[in-house]
Amino acid sequence: MIYVHEMATYSTARIALGATRAAVGLGSWLAPDLTARLFGIDPVTANRFLTRLFGARELALAVALLAAPSGAVRRSRWRARRSTRST
């Protein structure tokens, strides 16, 4: 059984990870040279296009994390599907 504290921890972690991915993604997309330098990559040799692609990927993952339904909603959907199956 999932307790309220565990659900809150999951939700907080999901939001924190999504916000971090969004920040890294925006930084990589809007300022690829600065982001490359922050990650310890030489901005002269770094490919801006690839850095921007990395940023777009991070933004897509952030949206997926932040738009995902909570664990309780997913569990209730799973239970509903499971109960409607014929045995």
Q: Which domain holds residue 76?
A: 4-84
Q: What is the pLDDT of residues 55-85, one digit of tens each?
A: 999 999 999 888 877 665 566 666 667 766 6
Sequence-separated (6 or more) residues with CB below 8 Å from residue 25: 54, 55, 56, 57, 58, 59, 60, 61, 62
The answer to whether the beta carbons of residues 77 and 71 sit under 8 Å apart is no
- Length reported for the chain: 87
* Domain tally, the chain: 1
Q: What is the pLDDT of residues 4-56, one digit of tens each?
A: 555 567 778 888 999 999 999 999 999 999 988 998 988 888 898 999 999 99
Q: What is the pTM of this model?
A: 0.68
